């Protein structure tokens, strides 16, 4: 097991990320306080946002939106699913 951190998203001690996953201050905060499990949850949520909103992540406007959603997902009240989102059937 790698380094252990207290994950603020899951409110438990868990394995931390191996590297800073995002640049800047937000990336540093994520690296220091978000677990691998919570990061995987974000990646799934981010994929859903990209697909539902048909975002192109290389566009500055889309990157800004995703960064704002990431901040809310980890450190705010959470990132909402689009109203039209229908979860896939198992």
What six digits make up the tokens of 23?
């640049």
Is the pLDDT at 2 greater than 90, yes or no?
no
pLDDT single digits (tens) 60-81: 999 999 999 999 999 998 887 7
pLDDT single digits (tens) 10-66: 999 999 999 999 999 999 999 999 999 999 999 999 999 999 999 999 999 999 999
C-alpha to C-alpha distance for 46 and 63, rounded to whole angstroms? 11
Task: Give the pTM.
Answer: 0.87
- Any idea where the domains of the chain sit in the sequence? 4-75
**4-75: which CATH topology?**
YggX-like (1.10.3880)
Cβ burial 50-72 (10 Å sphere, 16+ → b, else e): eeeeebeeeeeebeebbeebbee
């Amino acid at each position: 097991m790698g380094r252990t951190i207290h994950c603020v998203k899951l409110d438990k001690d868990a394995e931390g990320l191996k590297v800073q996953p995002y640049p800047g201050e937000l990336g540093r905060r994520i690296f220091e306080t978000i677990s691998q499990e919570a990061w995987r949850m974000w990646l799934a949520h981010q994929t859903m946002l990209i697909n539902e909103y048909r975002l192109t992540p290389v566009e500055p406007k889309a990157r800004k939106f995703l960064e704002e959603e990431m901040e809310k997902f980890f450190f705010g009240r959470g990132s909402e699913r689009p109203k039209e989102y229908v979860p896939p059937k198992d």
